[in-house]
């Protein structure tokens, strides 16, 4: 039987334990998972594509069935190019539903052969997003339990530097 391959696209700016939980659970269902950083021209990320890939790589280094990559353009085209059959997404609150429903319907319209598979968040991480992590880290909050250690370190370095630059700019 052909191996099942799924693409998990997202901003991953940066990866959190919520993302990791989805990846770990998907590993039980699929033979290979490609975690792909989507380069979105309409979003200004905190971390570069390279850094986001590096942090994903580090967080999944013990998972031989998980590959890290990045792409731009249509997700369905990328999925097809990688010879995968489905798109993986996580669902948290009801508020995620509308956007995800719209996106998966559009993707189905663009390529009827590709399905979107949703995994429900672990309630432990239902509140967790890259944005709340960035906000908490910016003001010195304790995020240890919520992100892999290398993400915590990267956030500290990045935010300390930009905070100092902003502060100096104001003078």
Hey, which residues are catalytic here?
Answer: 19, 43, 92, 130
Residues 29-58 that bind ligand ADP (CB under 6 A): 38
Query: Smaller CB distance to ligand ADP: residue 43 or 165?
Result: 43
Q: For residues 99 and 92, what is the distance between their CA atoms, to the nearest angstrom?
A: 12
State which of residues 5, 18, 30, 71 lies at the interface with ligand ADP (CB under 6 A).
Answer: 18
Q: For residues 81 and 46, what is the distance between their CA atoms, to the nearest angstrom?
A: 28
Helix/strand/coil (H, E, C) string of the chain?
Answer: CCCCEEEEEECCCCCCHHHHHHHHHHHCCCCEEEEEEECCCCCCCCCCHHHHHHHHHHHCCCCCCEEEEEECCCHHHHHHHCCCCEEEEEECCHHHHHHHHHHHHHHHHHCCCCEEEEEECCHHHCCCCHHHHHHHHHCCCCCCCCCCHHHHHHHHHHHHHHHHHHHHHHC
State which of residues 49, 129, 132, 138 lies at the interface with ligand ADP (CB under 6 A).
Answer: 129
Tokens of 166: 């902003």
Query: Smaller CB distance to ligand ADP: residue 107 or 130?
Result: 130
Query: C-beta of 25: minimal distance to ligand ADP in Å?
Result: 10
| Under rule CB under 6 A, residue 14 binds ligand ADP | no
Query: C-beta of 2: minimal distance to ligand ADP in Å?
Result: 25
Residues 139-158 that bind ligand ADP (CB under 6 A): none
Q: For residues 16 and 147, what is the distance between their CA atoms, to the nearest angstrom?
A: 5
Query: C-beta of 155: minimal distance to ligand ADP in Å?
Result: 15
| Under rule CB under 6 A, residue 78 binds ligand ADP | no
State which of residues 84, 130, 143, 148 lies at the interface with ligand ADP (CB under 6 A).
Answer: 130
Query: C-beta of 10: minimal distance to ligand ADP in Å?
Result: 3
Q: Binding residues for ligand ADP, per CB under 6 A?
A: 10-12, 16, 18-19, 22, 38, 89-90, 92, 96, 121, 125, 128-130
């Amino acid at each position: 039987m052909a191996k099942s391959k799924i693409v998990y696209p997202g901003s991953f700016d940066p990866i959190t334990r919520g993302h990791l939980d989805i990846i770990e659970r998907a590993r039980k269902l699929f033979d290979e998972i490609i975690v792909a950083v989507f380069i979105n021209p309409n979003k200004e990320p905190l971390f570069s594509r390279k850094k986001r890939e590096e942090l994903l790589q580090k967080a999944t280094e013990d998972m031989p069935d998980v590959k890290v990559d990045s792409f731009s353009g249509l997700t369905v085209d990328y999925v097809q190019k990688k010879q995968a059959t489905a798109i993986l997404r996580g669902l948290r609150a009801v508020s995620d539903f509308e956007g995800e429903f719209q996106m998966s319907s559009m993707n189905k319209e663009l390529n009827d052969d590709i399905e979107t598979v949703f995994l429900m968040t672990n309630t432990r991480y239902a509140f967790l997003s890259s944005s709340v992590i960035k906000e908490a880290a910016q003001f010195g909050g304790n995020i240890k339990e919520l992100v892999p250690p290398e993400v915590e370190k990267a956030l500290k370095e990045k935010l300390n530097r930009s905070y100092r630059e902003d502060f100096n700019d104001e003078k």
